[in-house]
């Protein structure tokens, strides 16, 4: 079978996480790219000896590619995914899937109408520990899931940010950029449709127009509960609770000096300060997750899982973490096996519904019922 040729739309900070993954996967090839910034196109061409297009539309029309990996700003996901689908290209789209549920519906409809796949990228479901905990939950080995605790503290509001990255109306801001990860984790492990959410949030960094902390409860049909805590002010990093290992499986420096943000930045300042996000040699820790079952408790270890039962504590070792290569493997294998991808557009819409409900609940101070969680 010939290689799957993929073009990447958007050459910003997120793309620098994705591009190294192509060297790790057989049967896929980085074939094209697009960005409106001439500087980004020139840098890409120099590094990969591939000319980049000045528009997403030109990229999607190319007969040289089979799929488009979308890493453009959140409010442009729907437009770019629909353009790719209408040109017969499969789509990998970064989280959150879109800015609104209506946009999700349009993306799903376009990919189905054109018989192409829509895969949600940058999902923590691809991380080996989360996948393994979900498999244990589905096996009933420890009984039903009772409670999931998820904590994630980082420096999101200390990093260089464009104004559009802080705008909730454009599907951005700290909560809409970070909560999708925790929602993916707890939804996958809960093995039951979510019913409702209750949340409280805060906005304590005056120069950054975005909430910076969130506490939330998600109730599931099975009776399970998920408790989530997010904090992006940067004084404490939850990697201190996970053997010093962060989201990309690398050891992180703790107790770093905190530089207070001066507000949103211009594009040059933003893109000149991008950070290394290559995969490390340990399991990725997107915060601390403790999962309680009827007959035990699970949390991650640097090399896999720690499973606590009546017999004591057992460590289960897991396969090597491949970073963002997992999305490429999933799309490649789904096409070879002629099956649906996972997580797909319906999963991405369900995730976004919860994230938007978190914001609504925090603003209104009440429970918010969910409508689009039963995925069959």
Ranges under pLDDT 50 in the chain? none
- Distinct helix (H) and strand (E) counts, the chain: 10, 14
Q: Rounded to whole angstroms, how far apart are CA atoms 200 and 185?
A: 20
Q: What is the pLDDT of residue 251?
A: 87
Q: What is the pLDDT of residue 254?
A: 64
What is the per-residue pLDDT across 291-341, written as a single tens digit (0 to 9) for each? 999 999 999 999 999 999 999 999 999 999 989 999 999 999 999 999 999
Distance of CA 224 to the CA centre of its chain: 23
Please give the domain boundaries of the chain with CATH numbers for all domains. Answer: 4-124+323-343 (3.40.50.720), 128-322+355-369 (3.30.360.10)
What is the sign of the dihedral through the CA atoms of 364, 369, 371 and 376?
positive
Distance of CA 374 to the CA centre of its chain: 20
Average pLDDT for the chain: 94
Q: What is the pLDDT of residue 314?
A: 97
The answer to whether 74 and 170 have CB atoms below 8 angstroms apart is yes
């Amino acid at each position: 079978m010939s290689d799957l040729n993929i073009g990447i739309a958007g050459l910003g900070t997120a793309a620098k996480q994705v591009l190294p993954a192509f060297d790790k996967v057989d049967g896929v090839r980085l074939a094209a790219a697009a960005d409106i910034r001439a500087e980004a196109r020139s840098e890409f061409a120099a590094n990969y000896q591939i000319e980049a297009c000045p528009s997403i539309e030109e990229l999607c029309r190319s007969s040289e590619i089979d799929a488009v990996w979308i890493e453009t700003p959140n409010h442009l996901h729907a437009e770019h995914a629909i353009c790719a689908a209408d040109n017969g290209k499969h789509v990998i789209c970064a989280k959150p899937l879109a800015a609104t549920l209506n946009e999700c519906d349009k993306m799903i409809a376009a990919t189905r109408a054109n018989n192409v796949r829509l895969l949600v990228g940058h999902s923590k479901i691809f991380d080996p520990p989360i996948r393994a905990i979900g498999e244990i939950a589905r096996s009933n080995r420890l009984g039903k899931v009772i409670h999931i605790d998820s904590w994630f503290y980082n420096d999101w509001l200390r990093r260089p940010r464009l104004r559009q990255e802080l705008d909730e109306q454009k599907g951005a801001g700290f909560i809409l950029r970070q909560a999708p990860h925790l929602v993916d984790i707890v939804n996958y492990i809960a093995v039951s449709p979510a019913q409702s959410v209750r949340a409280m949030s805060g906005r304590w960094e005056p120069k950054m127009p975005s909430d910076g902390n969130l506490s939330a409860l998600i109730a599931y049909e099975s009776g399970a509960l998920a408790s989530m805590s997010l904090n992006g002010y940067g004084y404490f990093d939850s990697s201190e609770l996970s053997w010093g290992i962060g989201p990309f499986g690398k050891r992180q420096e703790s107790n770093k000096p905190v530089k207070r943000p001066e507000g949103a930045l211009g594009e040059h300042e933003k893109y000149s300060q991008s950070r290394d996000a290559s995969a490390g040699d340990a399991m990725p820790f997107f915060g601390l997750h403790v999962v309680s079952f009827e007959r035990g408790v699970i949390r991650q270890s640097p090399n896999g899982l720690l499973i606590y039962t009546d017999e004591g504590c057992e460590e289960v070792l897991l396969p090597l973490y491949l970073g963002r290569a997992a999305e490429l493997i999933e799309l490649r294998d789904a096409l070879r096996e002629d099956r649906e991808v996972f997580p797909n557009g319906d999963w991405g819409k369900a995730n976004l519904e919860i994230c938007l409900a978190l914001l609504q609940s925090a603003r209104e101070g009440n429970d918010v019922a969910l409508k689009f969680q039963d995925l069959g």
